[in-house]
Structure formats: structure tokens, C-alpha cells
Structure 1
Amino acid sequence: MLRSALGSPHEFVITYELVPGQGCCGKKVERLLDLAREVKADGRISALSITDNPGGSAALAPAAIGAELLQLGIEPLIHFSLKDKNRSQIVSHLYLYQRLGLRSLLVMGGDFPKPGYYGQARPVFDLDSIQTLQLMRDMETGRHPGCALSLEQPQRRLFKGCVVSPFKATEAEQVWQYAQLLRKAAAGADFIISQLGFELGRFEELITFVRRRGLSQPVLANVFIPSLPVARAMAAGKVPGVLLPPELLARMEQEAAQGRSQVRLERAAAMIVRLRRMGFQGVHLGGNGLSCSDLRTVLDQVEVFDAAAELPDLAVDFPLQGAWTFCRREAGRLEERPIQPGRKPGAVRIRALSHRLMFDQQLLTGRLFAHFCRFCAQGRRRTAALTLLERAVKRLLFSCRMCGDCTLARSAFLCPQAGCPKRLVNGPCGGSRFGFCEVHPDRRCFWVRVYERLDPQTTVSSLAALPPLPPKDWALEKTSFWVNWFTGRLRQGN
């Protein structure tokens, strides 16, 4: 089991990523299963992970391949993407996975859906990864009203993973990633897998951060072995959240021209050995078009390099020039850099003062406004008039969408329903590049803008300590938040 393998301090765990395509059968599916059989026979890979509609395109559901892997005697690691599941579907899928014996899940937001049948699918993102991890924990402990996971049999207990990217180019993106990691760990994540990257220094930052923050979750480093066409696509920004350094692309172009494309396998092997010596519990391997023979070559070479006194003179570290790094090296030791949020505060102070005057009932203005809203709530016409007033004011100031469950005060008075395509209320996804949005590359990431408006005294720890906002109650959509707040219809703080 993946759980027991990662729980052993002396075992270096290797997983490999399978990418199902469109269709329920055919040569592509058979090739995946043939590779799985060969992997099983080889015995050095602990689990095969299965992607869930990668890139936002519809594909064979991971449960189908996962069930067949179980029949072959291989541990499946199911990617549990939230982009196309509402909370009811999430619960339904959890029951399905337990029923099928699919115990290991990697929880992630997922890539924004791409156009398909009759155009663009409606993105869901009803829960984010933090909320989903909390949901799973609450179902296990019986705190979720009406729903529970089956825990009578220990083999059905779910093993929940989360994702973090240490490869962001800007301060705001990277600080959010580490703050989100701490929140995911607190929400119940059992293990961590990094985003793919090609800079050893960033991997070292990640494992150092995990150790110093006292996280007990094992960490797998993501080692991706791209082909030249995929490397070109990554360098061009066509893979959400992935930054491929120009130096690596140039080296791969040169290797291809010289007929030395297989060097990528040796490079991956040398990288795995370095990551193992860094202290990672294992690696999560991936790569398009790799055969089982390629995987055996990589793993054989790992054993050769690991046994050698010195590693070969092979370039495996490709820093992204000009990118902000979370740590700097001082006297041979990695130290966290001071961070500088709040560089563009805008009108936050004025809006925060207005918010306090309206909603703090320890103040006379807050008590008067509360009384006025409750008075309006007693009549349909008065409620409608107040709702119209609220809509006009907040649309002008915040581009408000009238969700009825306002979280402006938690996002520096920027509206995530209007500003974030995924409508995330607890922090960013991992899809941004150089501070720009995954969905709208010409726009700056919403949560980067929030970071620039935060209190300058904000730290990673203070961001991580914020209680995660619960899921929105969509029955309140298009209603007055002011009324909902003062009449007790909301279950959360603002």
C-alpha cells in the first residue's frame, strides 16, 4: 500500500503518472494497461497515479483505470480534481472510491475546462482543495451532518494527498503556495506531492520549509521527463502553472539535433538521486510517451548513480533567471527571505474603516446599521429596496455579483466572485504564470493583487493561520448579504 510505503522512513517511494485519453477502450487504454502489467512485474514502482481530465479536456474517468489496476495487483493513486464536481458529486465520488477500494486520492483544484461539446463547459470549483480535505476529515470523524465515510474496515480509510508548487516566479505566488500548503496540512492532508519543476534549489526550499514548519507529511518530488514537443509547449506557457527554463529547452534542442534525446532519461535519474539525498520520501515520475523500457532505464540508472561515489557530470539543475526565490543561502544554510506584501494598498484602509463602521456592533454606527437591516428584512418591499441599494453600491465599488455571502474583508476588499475565474475564496490555485492568471493570461492573478493589498506585517504564518472560509451556501445567491449577516442566515464570519 502507498500509505505503508510512505510511512516507512527507510523506503524511497516511486510513483508514476498515467494519463487516460478519450474513449473507454482502444489501443491507448490497452497500452496503459500493458505498461501497468510491466510495472507490476518490475516491482520498483509503488503506485500508478491516474489523472482526472488533465488540461481541462474530457477523458476516461480515473476510477475506470483504477479499478483495473486493482485487479492487476497495483496500487492506484487517483487524481481528485474539483473543477467539474459540486459538493454533492464530491461526496458521491468518495463513496464510489471507497466501494471500489480506491484508497489513495490526490486532491487538487484542477485545470480550467477547455472548450468541448458546443463550446466552453461551465467550470464548477464548488469546493477548493482545502474545503475538500476538511470535508473528507469531517466525514471520517462524523462531523459532517448526514454523510459519513465507511470506516468499519481499516482498508477503506482514504489516504489524502495535496499539491504544492515551489516553482513560482514572483513573491506573491510563492508565498501563497507555502501558506496554502500549511493550510492543506492542517485540513487533513496525509502526504504532499510537488508540482513538476526543473530547479533543484526550489526542491531544496520545499523540503527545508516542510522540515522547519514541523510538517509530518511525507513529500514526493515531481520529476517530469518531457519530450521535446512537450518541452516546447511548456516553455510557451501552454501547460498551466509550469515554468520550463529556456536553458533546458535549448539543451534539449541541441540533444535532439545530435540524436541524443535519451539523455533526458539519464538526467531524470541523476535528479532522482539528488532529491533522495536531499531528504525527499520519494518521487512522482511523469512523462509523455514513456515506455516501460524507458522507466526501467531510469530506475536502473538511479541504482548505478546511487552506488557511485560521485554523481556524473550531468546538468540537472535549471534555475529560472530573474525569478524570486523563497530562500537565500547564507553561510551554507538556506534562510527565508523577508517578504513584502502590501506594496499597492489602494483604498484598503478606507474600505476597512467603512466595513468596521457598518458591521462592528460594538460601535454605535454598526448597531444602527444592524437595526436598519433587520427592519428592512421584515417586509418584502423593504428587503427588495435594500437589496437594490446594496447591489448598486457594491457593483460600483467591487464589481459585486451578489453571492449573498460576501467575503470581501478576507480578500483585501477585492471580490473573488468577480475577479477570480475559479471563484476561489481561500487563496490561489497553482495555475498562474509570472503573476498572471491561468484562464486570462493578459490579467494579473486575482490573489497576486490581493497580496499586494495585504497588511505589510503579514507573514506566511499569519496567512496560514487564517481559518479557511467554508463553502458558499448558493441558496443565498442574489440575496442581500447585509440582511443575511444581521439576521443570522450566514454560518461564517465575515
Structure 2
Amino acid sequence: MKETFQNSLNNKNEMTIAWELVPGRGAREKSQESALKAAEEAAKGDRVHALTITDNPGGNPAILADYLGMEILRMGIEPLVHFSCKDKNRYQMESQLYALNRAEVNNLLVLTGDYPEALEGRRPKPVFDMDSTHTLELITKMNNGLEVQGRKGPIKYHPTSFFTGAAVSPFKATEAEQVTQYFKLEKKVAAGARFIVTQLGYDARKFHEVLQFLKVHNGDIPVLGNLYILSYSAAKLMNQNQIPGCVVPDKLLAKIEEEKDASDKGLEKRLLRAAKMYAVMKGMGFSGVHIGGHNIKYHQVEYIIDKGEELSIDWQDLAAEFDYPIPGGFYYFEKDKASGLNTTKPVNREKLPLNAPVGITYKISRIMHSIFFDPGKPLYRAMKYLSKALDGSILERPFHKLELLLKVGLYDCKDCGDCALPDTGYVCPMSQCPKNQRNGPCGGSNNGFCEVNPDRQCIYVRAYSRLKKYGEEEQLRGTQIPACNWDLYQTSGWKNFYLGRDHAAACPVDKAKDKKIKELAQH
């Protein structure tokens, strides 16, 4: 089969259409049969370039997207499989990826994934062994021919041919949330993302913001705008943050509530709104749209495309209709007064207040880091010598216990042994982030607070605020932090650092990269 989806995305004169199917739980239930029927209609209609298949959305169990993707491929239309990190370790990911490649299911949207839901009063164990940047990096290596060390020397495996994308949410309320979203987006692109899909919202200026950010920082990468046909029931859930990362402000919910009293329960207006969004996205310069919505039929998708094309000549006027911002929300760029969208000039973030308190713990941590962990300081050399002396001795265990006593009290340490505290403003991603995100936030935070623990601020809101206090927030956009090395679990993180066993040895200070980060900060 020709690579319709990839070719379309690379064709600047064509809008790429992806239509989302949610197959649901079970194997031969109504939801799977409906998804396959929709796929059959889409294949015959020849207007959709790829059918996106969700991977356990909402953290609920569902049929594997992989297998449904194989069935859809046989119908003559390309699947775009959601590939999430929530319930697979790195070896399972590799196995699943090779199986997908063998089945010629090569379009992937790589996601962090929703936190597993508790069903029947019992929650399954989340995995989150790797984040989306790690997964993209793995796929890039596989595309180049994965090379591993065998017993008799290096082994290089046959290259795969995945076409991978990633997601980003521009719909964040606070500076810390939004800026760290974009920092992680840069890491995703660097790791191998070749297209981007936005999260869901209804603020035209925010959609435009993504394009501007990529234009300024990452060059020419295709972006699909998330276009959701919003029913009242879905709008209500999103408004209450019951669907993480999807933003429906009160103003829009009130409008949709009015529309639902019509004889068609607001369907006509929902479809017209979607067509207008299509027109606006095309006018802004999106490469395509990612269409979603509950129980949407193929003929409705065709209507959105045709009506959207018809309306696209007036996209600038229509953009004003999508004025549903988060109240008091942060914008990365200054507003363009003529269009109501964005300039390419970032707002002056220096004058904006911090989104989280810094606290005495971080101040102490900075002092201790500068004394003991800075390679240029005398006590660094002393600690390195001590670590060598303790390694394998009878005093190694007491030394580890002393470290753990301090780090549990200060950081709620989980004793992973591959410590990322210095990388994340001394907020532990292994103990304080339910998804163990080491390279930036997931997309589920709400007004600065965690998707899973809504009474806690997202760790990257805290980390960004701590670093910004000292003018160092750009550190979060630097070197990618590798996935945790579980060989080091329940061993001394200090000793592993000084002896070059943890990820810090794999990510040495790169003066050229530090210079680049400073240039980006000025930009």
C-alpha cells in the first residue's frame, strides 16, 4: 500500500485528514463492529488519509489498537495507531513495535498515555517505564537499524519504517505548564517526531501559538489540529476535567447547553462549528486535522471537510468565533492586535509571578549541590574518593542508609538509584509524578495541578518555578534524561553519581548545548 498519510502530510497543497476511532473494551462488541464499519466506509470514500485508533483512552481497558490496525490496513486504508507508555516496559515496547512493523502498521502517534483507571474498586499497577521522548528515541534507533551488544559483538537489526508523531497541549493555564509543554515538545522533535497533533481546545489563538512556536524553534514540521465534534455530554466531562488535557471553558459549555435543546440536540451546530474550525486551521497553516467525536458517521466527516473547504476563504473572520480562552490563561507570544492571534515575539516572562512557591528545601538543595556535586569544587573530589573507598565495603550499606534517610525526608525518595533530582529542580519525578516523567510534563495537568493527584501541583510547575527564581528555567529544555536504569534500584544514588554509573555519566555537561540553551533563552 502506498504511504498515503505520510505523503499527504508532506504535501503542502493538501489538507491531511485523520479520523479517530475508539474501539472500546471487548473483541466483538458493538464498539469494535462500529469502528470497522466506519473504516470500511472511509476506505471506500477515499477522503480520509488515516484512521487513528486509540490506546485505552481514559486509562480504561480496550482491545489492542495494534490488532484493529491490522484489520483496517487490510481494508485498504492506513491506520494511525496510538502508542502509549502507560502499561508497557521498554522490552515490551520493542517487541510490540517489531510486530507492528512486520504487519506493516507503520504510522504511530506516540503518547504518554492516560493513568490507569480503577475498575471495580481496584486499580492496576501503572508502568510508565519510558516516557514519550524515550519511546520516540527508541523508534528512531529502530528505523536506523537497532544496534545492540551481543555475546560475540555488536548485532544490528533490520531497519524499521515507522512514521512517528507526538502530541502537545497549547491549552494550559499557567506559564510553568505551558512553557514546559513546549520544552518537552522540542525534545520530542529532537527524538524523532515527524509530525505533531495538538490536544483539544477551542481557543484559536492557542492553536495558532503551536504553529508559531514550531516556526520559531523547530522549523518546518507538519501539525494536525485536533478537531472534536463536541456533544453536550462530552463538553460537560471536559469542563469538569474528567477527560485529562481537554479544555472546555464555562463560556463554551453554556453555549453548547443552549444548543442541545434543538430538535436535533444541537448536531447541526456541532458539525458547522467543526467545519468552521477546519476552515480556521487550514487558513492558519495547519497541515491537516485530527477529527474526533462520539458516534460520528463517515458522511458527517465528509460534510466537515467539504464545508470547511468552502468556508476557508473567510477563515480570519471565523477565527474570532473561537474565542474560548482559559480565564486568566498564559500565552507564550504577544498578541497580534490586527488578527487577534499571535506575533512571533515571546511575552516577557521575567516580570510574571512564579506559579509555585520555591521553599527552603530547594534553597538548601542548591547550596548542598554546589558544595558536593559540582565537579569544580574540592568536596566533589573528596566525595568521589570516598565513594570509591566505600564501594563493596562493609560501610557501603550504612552510607546508603544515611543517604536514604536524608532524601526520603527531603524529597520522598523512592531509592531508584538513578537520581534525576538535579535535572528537575529537586522535585523527584519517580516519587512525586505518578507517571514518572523525567523529561517534562504529560498533557493532563489542569490549572497547574496534577491529573492524577489534583490536590498537588504538577512537578514541572514546581521545578520550573524553582529554576525561574534563579533565572535558570531554560535548563529544563536541555539534555534528554534517559529512562531510569533499574539495575541501580535500591543502591546509593550518591555513589552511583560519583562513580559514573547513573544517567549523569551518559549525559555529561555539554558546553556547546549549554550555549545553545542560552541562545534559545534570549530568543
TM-score under structure 2 normalisation?
A: 0.88
- Closer, same or farther: CA 309–389 of 1 in aligned 2, 3 Å: closer
Q: Are the aligned partners of 1:339 and 1:459 in contact in 2 as well (CA < 8 Å)? A: no
Q: Are the aligned partners of 2:224 and 2:290 in contact in 1 as well (CA < 8 Å)? A: yes
Secondary structure of 1:350's counterpart equals helix
The letter of the residue matching 1:265 is L
User: Within the alignment, does 1:150 sit opposite 2:163 as a pair?
Assistant: no
Secondary structure of 2:466's counterpart equals coil
- Specify the alignment match of 1:303 in structure 2: 309
- Closer, same or farther: CA 4–365 of 1 in aligned 2, 3 Å: same
The correspondence for 1:469, drawn from 475, 481, 488, is 481
- Specify the alignment match of 1:322 in structure 2: 328
Secondary structure of 2:291's counterpart equals strand
User: Within the alignment, does 1:446 sit opposite 2:459 as a pair?
Assistant: yes
The correspondence for 2:117, drawn from 108, 114, 119, is 114
- Specify the alignment match of 2:237 in structure 1: 233
- Specify the alignment match of 1:336 in structure 2: 346
Aligned partners of 1:150, 1:197: CA distance in 2, in Å? 40
User: What RMSD, in angstroms, separates the aligned Cα atoms of the two structures?
Assistant: 2.2
- Specify the alignment match of 2:269 in structure 1: 263
Mapping 1:192-207, distance limit 5 Å: 192-207=196-211
Aligned partners of 2:499, 2:240: CA distance in 1, in Å? 51
User: Within the alignment, does 1:488 sit opposite 2:514 as a pair?
Assistant: no
Aligned pair count reads 488
- Specify the alignment match of 2:518 in structure 1: none
User: Within the alignment, does 1:364 sit opposite 2:374 as a pair?
Assistant: no
Cα shift at 1:308: 7.0
- Closer, same or farther: CA 132–173 of 1 in aligned 2, 3 Å: same
- Closer, same or farther: CA 458–242 of 1 in aligned 2, 3 Å: farther
Secondary structure of 2:97's counterpart equals helix
Measured against aligned partners, the alpha-carbon deviations of 1:243-290 in whole angstroms (never above 9, x if no partner) come to 201111111111112334320100110111111010111111100111
Aligned partners of 2:333, 2:13: CA distance in 1, in Å? 28
User: Within the alignment, does 1:397 sit opposite 2:407 as a pair?
Assistant: no
Cα shift at 1:211: 1.1
- Specify the alignment match of 2:126 in structure 1: 123
User: Within the alignment, does 1:88 sit opposite 2:91 as a pair?
Assistant: yes
Aligned partners of 1:150, 1:2: CA distance in 2, in Å? 23
- Specify the alignment match of 1:285 in structure 2: 291
Measured against aligned partners, the alpha-carbon deviations of 1:212-265 in whole angstroms (never above 9, x if no partner) come to 224221011101112111111111110011220111111111111233432010
Which deviates more, 222-231 or 287-296?
287-296
- Closer, same or farther: CA 145–293 of 1 in aligned 2, 3 Å: same
- Specify the alignment match of 2:253 in structure 1: 249
User: Within the alignment, does 1:218 sit opposite 2:222 as a pair?
Assistant: yes
Which deviates more, 317-326 or 445-454?
317-326
Cα shift at 1:138: 2.1
Q: Are the aligned partners of 2:200 and 2:245 in contact in 1 as well (CA < 8 Å)? A: no
Aligned partners of 1:182, 1:458: CA distance in 2, in Å? 20
List alignment gaps of at least 5 residues for structure 1.
none
- Specify the alignment match of 2:282 in structure 1: 276
Aligned partners of 1:479, 1:27: CA distance in 2, in Å? 50
- Closer, same or farther: CA 258–180 of 1 in aligned 2, 3 Å: same
Secondary structure of 1:492's counterpart equals helix
Measured against aligned partners, the alpha-carbon deviations of 1:438-458 in whole angstroms (never above 9, x if no partner) come to 001111111111111014465
Aligned partners of 2:499, 2:353: CA distance in 1, in Å? 34
Which deviates more, 72-81 or 213-222?
213-222
The letter of the residue matching 1:408 is L
Q: Are the aligned partners of 1:36 and 1:69 in contact in 2 as well (CA < 8 Å)? A: yes
Secondary structure of 2:308's counterpart equals helix
List alignment gaps of at least 5 residues for structure 2.
150-154, 508-523
- Closer, same or farther: CA 491–214 of 1 in aligned 2, 3 Å: closer
The correspondence for 2:34, drawn from 31, 35, 60, is 31
- Closer, same or farther: CA 460–133 of 1 in aligned 2, 3 Å: farther
Measured against aligned partners, the alpha-carbon deviations of 1:143-201 in whole angstroms (never above 9, x if no partner) come to 642576633xxxx5100100001111111110011111111111111111100111111
Cα shift at 1:316: 3.6
Cα shift at 1:45: 1.0
Cα shift at 1:118: 6.7
Cα shift at 1:309: 9.8
Mapping 1:40-55, distance limit 5 Å: 40-55=43-58
- Closer, same or farther: CA 454–311 of 1 in aligned 2, 3 Å: closer
Q: Are the aligned partners of 2:278 and 2:304 in contact in 1 as well (CA < 8 Å)? A: no
